[in-house]
Amino acid sequence: MWLDHPRNPNSPLAGLKVLELARVLAGPWAGQTLSDLGADVIKVESPDGDGTRLWGPPFVTRSNGEREAAYYHGCNRGKRSIVANFKDANDLAIVAALAANADVVIENFKPGTLARFGLDYASLSSANPGIVYCSITGFGQDGPRRDEPGYDFVIQAMSGFMALTGEPEGEPMKHGLSISDLFCGLYSTIAIQSALAMRARTGTGQHIDMALFDCSVSLLAHQAQSFFTTGDNPPRMGNLHAQVSAYGVFPTQDGPVVLAPANDGLFRKLLTLLERSDLLGEERFATNEARIANREEIDGIIAASTCKWQRDALLESCAKAGVPAGPINELSEVFEDPQVIARGMTFPMADNLTGLRSPMRFSDAQLVLGDPSPMLGQDQQ
């Protein structure tokens, strides 16, 4: 059932065989990323299919009348699909045979579930010692929460994301994307590729234990370091930056812009551009630390200047002066941006679908794009 030839011999992961026993987002996102890099990914679905096939509206209707949610198409392109009922011995034998010849297995069942079907790492690695087996769960394979289900919204709340996101006087807010799922998928991809590199040295694979909670906690980055340093919980600051000023959203006559003068030199350029050179000698604004201490005053001064400008004129002047700035785009504006178009961030697929390109670009290799998400069981043999 595995492909006899690489999908593209000049793709980074040409010939890699990936068995995806995953559904919803984190696992499929890792599988799609590996597929984009050239791997042959076989997605194993229950007879009911991945639940995200029904996560609409909006829905996509294919030329043959098949209908699935747009959500499903966002994280499953380039794969093949078979259906397996794990309660059926013949179906289990097919999945085990695929695993015996796979390089990678991705699964996101609760800990211990696949052992009941002989599809856990211990069982599969006995027949295939080189297998890299990536388990993605909410909380990992051990610890007091190992048996709890993992949902992105819950993980964003528990990891501190929501405590850091939102207006100071407003309620905690989740991110507009399923960021815990997506980053877990990306971290899983990194871990899989690292284990494959190690296998090239040692000849053996290994079990990778990925948890949404771990991945989200690890993304606290500099906010965690601020907490370690002070012992204080960082506050929600809306669009302000805890460590940099003046840095935020500012008004113009026809819409807000983001200004990000992240060092003293850039700040001085901004003052000059805004014709406030009279402030260049002010000690209370001379350094970032001083501007943090006088944030409300300097933000008010800058806002009083920017509101006299047309948005595009200000952005053009910032670009010429080398001051980081940008518009706050709707998605329709994102995909009309000349830079997005120039970089080829979208591509056409069958059934009039549009794909969103993985951001990786190589000097001497190609991504494998263009194949849409599979219909349920389309590659059954």
Tally of CA atoms within 13 A in the half-sphere of 361 that contains its CB: 5
Residues 107 and 198 in one domain: yes
Residues 149 and 289 in one domain: no
Cα dihedral across residues 293, 297, 298, 303: positive or negative: positive
323: domain CATH number is 3.30.1540.10
Query: Strand, helix or coil at 346?
Result: strand
Has residue 243 got a pLDDT over 90? no
pLDDT score, position 281: 86
**Residue 34 confidence class, pLDDT cut points 50, 70, 90:** very high
136: domain CATH number is 3.40.50.10540
Instruction: Provide the domain count of the chain.
Output: 2
Residue 180 lies in a domain: yes
Give dist(CA 259, CA 245) in Å, integer.
Answer: 10
Residues 172 and 267 in one domain: no
Has residue 246 got a pLDDT over 90? no
- Please, what is the average pLDDT of the chain? 95
Residue 164 lies in a domain: yes
Task: Write out pLDDT tens, residues 58-116.
Answer: 999 998 898 999 999 999 999 999 999 999 999 999 999 999 999 999 999 999 999 99
Q: Model pTM?
A: 0.93
Has residue 302 got a pLDDT over 90? yes
Residues 169 and 255 in one domain: no
Domain extent at residue 25? 17-220+348-356
pLDDT score, position 81: 96
Residue 301 lies in a domain: yes
Could you give the residue numbers annotated as active site?
181
Least Cα distance to 160 among 78, 229, 216 occurs for 216
Task: Write out pLDDT tens, residues 329-381.
Answer: 999 999 999 999 999 999 999 888 999 999 999 999 999 998 999 999 999 87
| Rounded percentage of the chain residues whose pLDDT exceeds 70 | 100
